[in-house]
Amino acid sequence: MTTIRIAFSPDSDDAFMFMPLLEGKVPARGFAFEASRADTESLNALAERGEIDVVAVSMAQYARVADRYLLLPHGASVGRGYGPVVVSREPRTLESLHHARIAIPGRRTTAALVTGLLVPDFEAVEIPIVPYRAVFDAVKRGEVDAAVVIHEGRLLYEAEGLHAVCDLGVEWHAQTGLPLPLGGNAIRRGLGADVIRQVSAACAESIAWALDHRDAMMEALQAEGGVLDRRGLDRYLAMYANEDTRGMKDDVRAAVAELFKRGATRGLVPSGATPELAP
């Protein structure tokens, strides 16, 4: 039996996608699936080393590993008029962030890329998303002037008394008219066409099962613990585990290409990178 190594983040939307497959809710198609979890930037590093068969990556990072991975046509995290939020201790404008120290969840993340497109001269300070409070504490202590908060953190900053400077998804849509493609699942090219096709189908079935059994999935996710209450979890899944996760729509594919194009123009991702989808 072939073992397929999967790696994804501790965040609710990633667990939502993969739990049905890992818990036997959908057919494994003759594979043994072995899962590990890590923060977003660590996953991006794993993809860079080509060590994992199926890995949840920042869309910006996929541009850097496209020679080793195909992008699965499902499992995307998409912001439609919303996305990571730049927050600060006191109210301030986006323009005031030029030359500012801004915390980012990792240099390979889409959040860092889009921030760099908006504020090309900021000073990046990497603060991993685990533990989630670390970035809030850094802003409150004045160690950074602002921070980009992602995943569940974008729903928690107001309760921490912080102020929104801008929503990256809003700014991206204003400039491009497109949704913001934040992350996706990538599959290693070296697995071969037949295995890729079968594993892709199994992952698609897992996502479909989760979407069709949303209440049961919410109960399972809450049993795991987490930083969001049920209302917050419901809101979070509505944002990042939805029909865009079931299948990548044409405007999302166009948005990925636009993200790569703009990133390459600024020298933030390799020139000529194109999103290539698995069957």
Catalytic residues: 151
Instruction: Give the separation between CA 159 and CA 224, rounded to whole angstroms.
Output: 22
Q: Which amino acid is at 267?
A: G
List of E strands, 75-145? 77-79, 85-88, 101-104, 123-126
Would you say 79 and 182 are in contact if contact means Cβ atoms under 8 Å apart?
yes
Contact yes or no for 104/124 (Cβ under 8 A)? yes
Of 184, 205, 189, 263, nearest in space to 13 by CA: 184
> In degrees rounded to 5, what are phi and psi of residue 80?
-100, 90
Cβ-based neighbours of 212, under 8 Å, separated by 6 or more: none
Please tell me whether residue 277 adopts helix, strand or coil conformation.
strand
Show the DSSP H helices in the chain as ranges. 12-22, 40-49, 59-65, 110-118, 133-140, 168-176, 193-212, 214-223, 230-240, 243-246, 250-265
- The neighbour count for residue 125, using CB atoms within 10 Å, is 16
Q: What is the dihedral of CA 108, 112, 113, 116, to 10 degrees?
A: -140
Q: How far is the C-alpha of 112 from the C-alpha of 110, rounded, in Å? A: 5
CA neighbor of 55 nearest in space, from 18, 110, 97, 81: 18
